[in-house]
Structure 1
């Protein structure tokens, strides 16, 4: 098959990203190493375009000649994406390397479709590179195709044809017989044999369409395979586009309603998200994601929503992430969502109906050896006129579920434009969802971290104590809302968190804790980003140290506005979100040893800290009925990375104690019982101790983290 170098501008529906200069940099004295390097390069390019395949979806391979480490003889080795991983970010370590001769020998002992799962364990006997990734279930699909370079992707445009009622005929006509067809079958050894048979019966084809599933394409070189893949997908996409405008009926049957304006959509979504999160977390605490992508709105506002949504998805990769079908919420876009109790009374029957449907689906389709039923709550929730919510064990999984469902929408749109959309039969869907091999993969996943599934909002967290707390919580699995009133400092922290944790662990929000609108906007951002809030840490602070006669009314008001009023309003707004979720929560107030110790030049700050401490006790007494725990951490002299100590406060304290500013850390350490300098991480550790799971029945407590100041002992 001859492949000519295309003009990148000829591609309209896919991204041509190949760079000859970068490919040339992968040159090696070992030809096999170069081919593997080009495989990784090609995989990353394909994975970078979500129109071609989703996160974690698809796989690629190449076959090379390499020396057998035992005999030194040249032998054919296949390098293929291993189990798990993502094409867009895959490295060489994400590949599995296997002897082709041994893989082909497996055909001699294959006992038939009923026993094909047992073949997966035998892949390990075919491994060439012992340091490579574990082989995936798709290994034979690549092994038995007689081509050097192979791409298996799940492009929306191709699956739209593959999921169409007459997809086989369309494929034949569109590609004039150059693309073969294999009917839907669960991935595995037998499907690999079916692909081999298709090539044998159709010599010279350039690819194979898998019914309801995806696309296989190939080439003699990495570049040939890449171009062949793009050209086939481009042709599919062009065909769909031509039919969008000429179909006998409007896309999705036309619009049944109009979306709210963007600001109104986000307002409705933010009000609703914590309620949905609570309902979806009836078994396991979930993290949410919201999108009002135009593709979503076109679908959820359409006349065909009621017909298509219950059908579910076709591609198994889509289905595994989005569940059997979405829940269409029984709400109108303009509904008043302010009455939480009334809202729950409206939603509860819909959720119970979905759970009942899911249990019936499980009971009807299960096999004697099926794994136990999993969480019966929906993953995808559609709110006509507003957008789509997804809920999962963590933010990345929730976000990826949304991406997969958007791909499913694209598939439905294309299939309906050219024919009629068909989804996987329920039994086939169940056999994928509860496949014993999938269950084994789930069982191998790492144990959740202590704060997995929890969302924390920390005020004043762009530096000092607050940033240390946010990082410790993120390290322990939480999603964090990093907030500050300093835009520059917040931007720096935002970049730091993104580099350290990626894009799914945090969001940065500007906040002024003295302004109700600013606080509400921060919680709205938290609800849109993660579905709500479970942990609130009041850490925003200010310090003014002056003798009584020098203290101004402005000083006094500023201290009480930020420390006392701010703590009150942030807690009040946080409790409102937690009550919507109905799953309890935690409030931690970072107070000070000065709440208990009388010192010089400290009337405003010390009394405000005392007010913070008693307000914490009052909140603990009131919120226990909601299972919301309120605890206090009392630090002292945490100087590192603190804006407070960078200004007049340090000078004031040094003057009060008769030492220089430079001598303050040693002075504070020397006066403690333990003789220790207190660092931001010490405060973060105390906060984690309160919320990490061992003190779940503890509220109204004060934890001193001051190195031991006897005057600050609570008892």
Structure 2
């Protein structure tokens, strides 16, 4: 086992030995451990391959087959289904029909004629880069340390001197068939080299075995990183030194949570975006530096970085101590900055477009830098926003390294445009699945760790939303968070304990939503309890508790939510889970029923007030949702059974029989009703009541 400082050595001999003889299995293993280290390559970045001998299913003869990461995959999570398998001889024979750089894109279609395994993934544009090299195992990676040298003005000379001629160099060129031929030519001119540096782009390394290839990759990256480390601060202070001081972490997070909804509102001018915030020390070192305003507008060098972070970030011209509570003043200061960015992007598009270029895409920034505070990224979903931030950290690392040993160079605007609006890239975007109904939306459901709240949260997650889980029961909240994270992934879920009667906790919950996701779109007031007693038996304490949780809780959550929704200027939905009891006068129900009546009318009042801001307020009225519900704890079931002269065990059947549809109501039924309001088809409806009770005529709204 070798020791490395700048990369993680993750090769497990026992695991690898179990794959002995399975070259494709070893390729997947190597890929996964390479992709596990963000210093080696980021999510979706780079590709790996191996060449094996296999029997041709048509002739039975032995042929050479290349297995390579397919289009759109990620080596860190790569499985065999994500690989493309091609006949090596057929791929190389395409050289006879290649018509030159002007006809690069037509070669991608011809890759399909080289496919060996018909069930494998579509080949990527990088396929010929691996195919024209003779090595059995090949890694193409985007390590920050290597790209820093590749993006340096003197990168070619530095590479030659650092590796004493054992690493070749190929100038920047967009990936494609011709670049594969250039890699082959570089190898022919430099026999015996161990890898090739691609100008401004990345690194190719190889080996006879998967392990040899892995070690070669790590050794080259380690050497690049050691070289950079020795030179940091040698020519000049990193990024020319610190221009401003960061706020302390508590202040940074508070400020980020306040401004995130403002930024999200502007970034969502074309479609709802989800945000991510990071105050990583590498980010702060950059955004607080003298070189920020020189380097950031230059953009990134590596195509993988650029495609996810856009032509350049928006540097927020806002004092780190700006009063963020003066919302109108804040909006007036930030609005012209976004307008200037959008104009810059439209000018970039118009000056670089070709006759067949795809239509201009969203002109808003992906990356927003706030000196003294950190970095915000906004994208169509949380994972994409997080990955964009990670890629920008990679770009910062590259700029830092290049500036330490030479001077940083970025892709020219035309080259960047030709990648961003590449017809093949556009085709890849068009093949992506259509967004789900709640993609880009952020929801908070109070009491979301059990029963109705949990069902609503799950439904919204299934439909593409990010969800802030909360509950007073912390143990159940943690269990729900773990359960949902296992199903939907950690990106789309955040959780915070919440007592809706505590204003500070409510404010903290919304601040958490802003910090984790950039803001909020859907609020479901679901937290509740129930007490069923005769008016003589009902205590004042019980009365106060019912009104505190149901009425005051709904008021506090709605009040804080309204402020945030108005800041975003994107409209939004407030759903209140009320009850059939808001409309029906039944026995032993004075406290609960009257509190539910107050909730219902509070909903109507809010709908009337918030309509001009495109904030919809609607009500779902359940009845008798027994499954996994807190409402049935604390004596409610016994109280209702007593009121109806039956046993607790008879309640489900009793409730079903009294409905017009003779149905038992489940939490998922309430969740579906909530989705009906927020899923997009009822965006012109507010002030409505939707009964989900199986049909109880006395509860009809009239």
Range of TM-score over shorter length? over 0.9
**Tell me, what secondary structure is at the counterpart of 1:389?**
strand
Aligned equivalent of 1:276? 263
1:400 Cα offset (Å): 0.5
Q: Does 1:548 align with 2:549?
A: no
**Tell me, what secondary structure is at the counterpart of 1:283?**
coil
When normalised by structure 2's length, the TM-score is: 0.99
Q: Does 1:14 align with 2:1?
A: no
Q: How does 1:396-475 map to 2 (within 5 A)?
A: 396-475=383-462
Q: Does 1:161 align with 2:149?
A: yes
Q: How does 1:332-411 map to 2 (within 5 A)?
A: 332-411=319-398
Structure 2: distance between partners of 1:334 and 1:648: 52
Structure 1: distance between partners of 2:575 and 2:73: 37
Structure 2: distance between partners of 1:541 and 1:682: 18
1:646 Cα offset (Å): 3.1
CA deviations over 1:228-254 (Å, ceiling 9, x no partner): 000000000000111114x12100010
**Aligned pair partner of 2:17 in 18, 24, 40:** 24
Aligned equivalent of 2:26? 38
Q: How does 1:72-471 map to 2 (within 5 A)?
A: 72-245=60-233, 247-471=234-458
Aligned equivalent of 1:3? none
Structure 1: distance between partners of 2:690 and 2:156: 68
Q: Does 1:524 align with 2:511?
A: yes
**Tell me, what secondary structure is at the counterpart of 1:376?**
coil
CA deviations over 1:366-389 (Å, ceiling 9, x no partner): 111111111111000000000100
Contact 2:283 2:374 (8 Å CA) reproduced = yes
1:410 Cα offset (Å): 0.4
**Aligned pair partner of 2:521 in 522, 534, 537:** 534
1:431 Cα offset (Å): 0.5
Contact 2:35 2:77 (8 Å CA) reproduced = yes
Q: How does 1:686-701 map to 2 (within 5 A)?
A: 686-701=673-688
Aligned equivalent of 1:709? 696
Structure 1: distance between partners of 2:448 and 2:243: 45
1:647 Cα offset (Å): 3.0
Structure 1: distance between partners of 2:688 and 2:73: 44
CA deviations over 1:383-420 (Å, ceiling 9, x no partner): 00001000011111100000000000000001111110
Give the stretch that moved more between structures: 288-297 or 643-652.
643-652
Aligned equivalent of 1:62? 50
1:624 Cα offset (Å): 0.3
Q: Does 1:489 align with 2:476?
A: yes
Aligned equivalent of 1:476? 463
Aligned equivalent of 2:607? 620
Structure 2: distance between partners of 1:577 and 1:443: 34
1:660 Cα offset (Å): 1.3
Structure 1: distance between partners of 2:370 and 2:385: 16
Structure 1: distance between partners of 2:329 and 2:149: 44
**Tell me, what secondary structure is at the counterpart of 2:76?**
coil
**Tell me, what secondary structure is at the counterpart of 2:304?**
helix
1:653 Cα offset (Å): 1.1
Structure 1: distance between partners of 2:546 and 2:73: 51
Contact 2:235 2:405 (8 Å CA) reproduced = no
Q: Does 1:574 align with 2:561?
A: yes
Aligned equivalent of 1:605? 592
Root mean square deviation of aligned Cα? 0.7
Contact 2:531 2:634 (8 Å CA) reproduced = no
1:707 Cα offset (Å): 0.4
Structure 1: distance between partners of 2:544 and 2:281: 47
Contact 2:439 2:465 (8 Å CA) reproduced = yes
CA deviations over 1:188-224 (Å, ceiling 9, x no partner): 0000000000000000000000000000000000000
1:546 Cα offset (Å): 1.2
1:600 Cα offset (Å): 1.1
When normalised by structure 1's length, the TM-score is: 0.98
Structure 1: distance between partners of 2:680 and 2:100: 49
**Tell me, what secondary structure is at the counterpart of 1:589?**
strand
Q: What are the ranges of 5 or more consecutive residues in structure 1 without an aligned counterpart?
A: 1-5
**Tell me, what secondary structure is at the counterpart of 1:363?**
helix
Structure 2: distance between partners of 1:288 and 1:322: 13
**Tell me, what secondary structure is at the counterpart of 2:277?**
strand
**Tell me, what secondary structure is at the counterpart of 2:77?**
coil
Q: Does 1:638 align with 2:625?
A: yes
**Tell me, what secondary structure is at the counterpart of 2:447?**
coil
**Tell me, what secondary structure is at the counterpart of 2:205?**
strand
**Tell me, what secondary structure is at the counterpart of 2:536?**
helix
**Aligned pair partner of 1:681 in 668, 674, 677:** 668
Aligned length: 702
**Tell me, what secondary structure is at the counterpart of 2:337?**
helix
Contact 2:470 2:495 (8 Å CA) reproduced = yes
**Aligned pair partner of 2:492 in 490, 501, 505:** 505
Give the stretch that moved more between structures: 111-120 or 641-650.
641-650
1:652 Cα offset (Å): 1.1
